[in-house]
Structure 1
């Protein structure tokens, strides 16, 4: 069995129209939601073996705050360029290339890829994983190379709005 935790980045700022999408930082709401969800992750989940993160500013800021709140070691973090605005196919391909020593992996990325990946792996019909939303999926696989649509079931889903 493998465990996958999908995290959508926290709310980002659109205040500076001159910034490239890749460089947009978190806004005030995002800076408030990330520590809240980091605390939930720290108390609800075991430490992952690996954290894969899109290298965009908003995803890297989100995971840095979450890791600090959850007391996770920075050595777990690996930035993957392919995860920037990745679709489901790219996310699944990235996971299928992992070494099987990793049992629990976090993926921190963007929509619509996060929502689509969640739905495709579990058969759920979640319309939209909101910013800083977290979904944990138990995968019925022994090797990452076996990951396919409908190979898992949703075991945890939470969003910042549930705590306001």
Structure 2
């Protein structure tokens, strides 16, 4: 059994006049949400053997804030394929993960992460958590998926169980839509 924990980057700063989307930083609310989600992960005793992430600035800053809240830093493996990736590309990234890792934290972007969850979790067995993801996988949200495989290369569509789905607003209503 492998565990995949997906963390969408936190709220980015659209007011920052960067030349490239790749370079867009987090805003203050995003930084706070990432810290809160790190604290939540620590409180739930989430463990990661391996961290893989998009090298976009907003993902780097999300992980920095997340690990501040988590209280421990794990050096990420940066994979450019995750930046704005489609589901087939994310499946390739997952299948390339080292088998020595039992629990992997992947941090990246939508719509790819949301679509990945919907492709991995069967519609008829996902229940209300999957329905929540179908509505939206907001910034700084965490989804925990259990995969019944011994090797990452065996991961297939419609094979995962969505163990949990947590949004920042579930932990602090001030981090919900419309908040600044």
> Using the alignment, how far apart are the partners of 1:78 and 1:91 within structure 2?
14
Look up the match of 2:43. Answer: 43
What pairs up with 1:1-12 in 2 under 5 angstroms? 1-12=1-12
Q: CA RMSD in A?
A: 1.2
* 1:53 is aligned to 2:53: yes
* 1:81 is aligned to 2:69: no
Distance 1:18 1:62, change over 3 A: closer
Q: TM-score, normalised by structure 1?
A: 0.94
Look up the match of 2:125. Answer: none
Give the ranges of 4+ consecutive aligned residues of structure 1 lying more than 2 Å apart after TM superposition.
Answer: 16-19, 71-75
1:65 deviates by 1.1
Look up the match of 1:140. Answer: 148
Please say if residues 16 and 25 of structure 2, whose CA atoms lie closer than 8 Å, have aligned partners that are also in contact.
Answer: no
Moved more, 116-125 or 46-55: 116-125
Please say if residues 18 and 24 of structure 2, whose CA atoms lie closer than 8 Å, have aligned partners that are also in contact.
Answer: no
* 1:64 is aligned to 2:72: no
Please say if residues 115 and 127 of structure 1, whose CA atoms lie closer than 8 Å, have aligned partners that are also in contact.
Answer: no
Q: Which runs of 5+ in 2 are unaligned?
A: 123-129, 174-180
Q: Which runs of 5+ in 1 are unaligned?
A: none
